[in-house]
Amino acid sequence: MMNKHLPGAASTPRSGAHGAKPLAMVEAGKRVRLKAIQSGRELQARLAAMGLTPGIEIEVIRNQSGGPCIVAVRGSRIMLGRGMAHGIIVG
């Protein structure tokens, strides 16, 4: 069966699609690649300015359910709120 793009369907990966999932679901110590950012343009630009662009490798330093997500990107550590971490799709 062939997959066809349906009009109005989202073009960004969703959790579970091809192993993609929100950064908020990744355990500390894992390395993943950024697939997409599901957010508004302002937040996408802000994250890009911090080095979070599609294809970049991210190492999850700390990710507990009750606090911020801390990641290593391009030699820097970045602290992300839970909402941001849920909008960053990785695989």
Query: Does residue 2 register a pLDDT over 60?
Result: no
Give CA 10 to chain center in angstroms.
16
- Of residues 86 and 8, more confidence is placed in 86
Amino acid (one-letter) located at 41: R
Is 87 in contact with 37 (CB distance < 8 Å)?
A: yes
> Where do the domains of the chain lie, and which CATH numbers do they carry?
17-90 (2.30.30.90)
Is 34 in contact with 72 (CB distance < 8 Å)?
A: no
The residue ranges of DSSP E strands in 2-91, in sequence order, are 21-22, 31-37, 57-63, 69-73, 76-80, 88-90
Mean pLDDT (whole number) for 44-53: 95
3-state secondary structure of 80: strand
